[in-house]
Structure 1
Amino acid sequence: MTSAVSVSNLSVTYDEFKALNDVSVEIAPGESFGLVGESGSGKSTLLRAIAGLAPVTGGTIRVHDRVLQGAKRDKAFYRAVQMVFQDPYGSLHPRQTIDRQLLEPLAIHGVADGERRILKALDEVGLGSGFRFRYPHQLSGGQRQRVAIARALILEPSILLLDEPTSALDASVQAEVLNLLEQVRRDHKLTFIMVSHDLGVVTHMCDRLAVMQGGRVVERLSSADLVAGRIGEDYTRSLMVASKGFQRKDAAVTA
C-alpha cells in the first residue's frame, strides 16, 4: 500500500544547527501518527518541513507517492495537506471576520461553492452560522481552535498536520477539541500526524508514534506498547514518567 506520507533520511539545518538529522517515518493512509519528545527534539520541525516551512538540507518527503522538492508547495499539495497550529489566536487574522478567513482558502483555490462549505465546516466543528461574522477576539480559545480546524477542513484535505493543537487551551476545553478531532478523522477518513508533549493525548489519539530526541527518531512503537510498558529506550521511559496521565484509561478525553 502507498504511504500517505513518507519521510526518508530527512535533515533540516538552521545556519549551523541541525534541527533534524536523518529522520525517517512512514504514515499509512487513514492512520493517526504521533510525534513525541522534549522541547527542541525536532518534532514540530518535522511537521514544518512536510508543510514547506523549514529548510530541508537532505533526504526526501513524499506525499501520496509524490516527491516534494525543496520548500515549494503547490496548490495541489495544500488541497491534500492542511496544518493546525498550536496557538489558535496567532494563526487567525485579528482584523478579519471568521467568514472572511474561511472564504480565503476557497478563493485562493477557486472553489465555487463557498457558502455551502463555510456552513458545513462551521457545523462540523460545533459552531453555528452565528459565528461567521465575529472576530477572533470575540471567541474563546476553544472556539478559535475550532475555527482553525474548520479552516483546515474546508478544502477537504486528506492529511492534517497537528502541532500541539490543544496545549494552548484550558484543560477543561482540551478534551472537547480532541474529541472533535477524533470525530472529524473518522468522518473524513483523514490521516493525522500529531505533535504532542502529552503522552496521554498521543496514546488516546494515535495508532503509532515516533519518539524524538536531539533531532533524531530514537524509538518507534505502537500506543498499545507504550501503555503496556513495552519500551526499549530509557529516554522514552523518562518521557512516560514525566508525562502525567500517560495511561490511555486516564486520559481526560471522554468528557
Structure 2
Amino acid sequence: MSAALHIDNLSVVYDDFHALKDVGIRVEGGESFGLVGESGSGKSTLLRAVAGLAPISGGTIHIDGEELKGSKRSKAFYRRVQMVFQDPYGSLHPRQTIDRLLLEPLAIHALADSDRRIARALDEVGLGNGFRFRYPHQLSGGQRQRVAIARALIVEPAILLLDEPTSALDASVQAEVLNLLEQIRRDRKLTFVMVSHDLGVITHMCEKLAVMRNGAVVERLSSQELAEGAVQENYTKNLMIASKGFVKA
C-alpha cells in the first residue's frame, strides 16, 4: 500500500547552499508526522518543496504513490494537499473579506454550493457566520489562523502541511488552535505533516517524527520514545533541553 507522502533522497539547493541533503521520510495515511529542529535545519524547506514552493535539485516526492515532477503543482494536487503557514496575517489578503478569501479556492476548483461550504468551514474552526464579511485586520491572531485553517480545509484535502501553525500566537491561543487541529484530523481522518521547533507540541500532536539538522534527518523516532527520553542523538537531547515547556513523561 502506498504511503500518503513518501520522500526519498530529496535535495534542495539555492546557489551553492544545500538547504536539504538527501532527505527521506514516509508518512502513512491518517498519520500525524512531525518535523523538528533548530531554525535553518531545513524542516520548513521540506514542506515548501512538497508544496512546489522550493526548487528540487534531486530525489523524489510521491503523494499516494504518484510522483510529483519538478516544482509545478496541478490543481488536482492542491485538492489533495493544502498548507497552513506560520504567519496568519501574512497569509491572508488584507483587502479581502473572509468571505472572499474562502470563496477564492472554491472558484479555482469549480466547487459548487459555496454558501454551505463557507458556513461549514467557519463553523468547523469555531467561527460563526458573523465573521464572513470582516477583514483580517478586524480579527485576532488566533481568529486569523482559524480562517487560514478554514481556507485550507474548504477544498476537502487529504493532507495538511502545517508550518509552525501556532508559533506566532499567544500560549493560551496556541493550545486552542492545536486542540482544534487535532479534532479536525480525527473527524476528517486527515494526514498531517507538522513543522515545529517545540518538542512539546510535536509530542502532543504527532505519532512519529524526524529530527533535522543542517538540511538532513539525523534521527527518526516515535513521540512516545521522545516523551520517554529514548533518543540516540545528542542533538535531539539538546533540543529537548532547549524546548520550552517540554516535559519528560
Match of 2:164 in 1: 164
Query: Are the equivalent residues in 1 in contact too, given 2:229–2:248 (CA < 8 A)?
Result: no
2-structure distance, mates of 1:49, 1:248: 33
1-structure distance, mates of 2:70, 2:18: 17
- The amino acid that maps onto 2:39 is S
- The amino acid that maps onto 2:229 is G
Instruction: Report how many residues are paired.
Output: 249
Aligned pairs for 1:1-255 (under 5 A) are 1-247=1-247
Query: Are the equivalent residues in 2 in contact too, given 1:204–1:248 (CA < 8 A)?
Result: no
2-structure distance, mates of 1:73, 1:110: 17
Question: How far is 1:67 from its partner?
Answer: 0.2
Q: Deviations over 1:191-239 (max 9, x none)?
A: 0000000000000000000000000000000000001111010000000
Q: Deviations over 1:137-179 (max 9, x none)?
A: 0000000000000000000000000000000001110000000
2-structure distance, mates of 1:173, 1:229: 28
- The amino acid that maps onto 2:194 is M
Query: Are the equivalent residues in 2 in contact too, given 1:203–1:247 (CA < 8 A)?
Result: no
1-structure distance, mates of 2:158, 2:12: 25
2-structure distance, mates of 1:54, 1:10: 11
SS, match of residue 72 in structure 1: coil
TM-score of the superposed pair, with normalisation by structure 1: 0.97
1-structure distance, mates of 2:210, 2:72: 26
1-structure distance, mates of 2:155, 2:166: 22
- The amino acid that maps onto 1:54 is A
Q: Which runs of 5+ in 2 are unaligned?
A: none
2-structure distance, mates of 1:29, 1:76: 18
Q: Deviations over 1:89-131 (max 9, x none)?
A: 0000000000000000000010111111000000000000000
Q: Deviations over 1:9-64 (max 9, x none)?
A: 00000111000000000000000000000000000000000000000000000001
Match of 1:253 in 2: none
Match of 1:252 in 2: none
1-structure distance, mates of 2:248, 2:177: 17
SS, match of residue 25 in structure 1: strand
- The amino acid that maps onto 2:24 is S
2-structure distance, mates of 1:2, 1:64: 6
- The amino acid that maps onto 2:37 is G
2-structure distance, mates of 1:229, 1:58: 34
Question: How far is 1:247 from its partner?
Answer: 2.5
TM-score of the superposed pair, with normalisation by structure 2: 0.99
RMSD of equivalent CA atoms: 0.7
Question: How far is 1:245 from its partner?
Answer: 2.1
Query: Are the equivalent residues in 1 in contact too, given 2:228–2:248 (CA < 8 A)?
Result: no
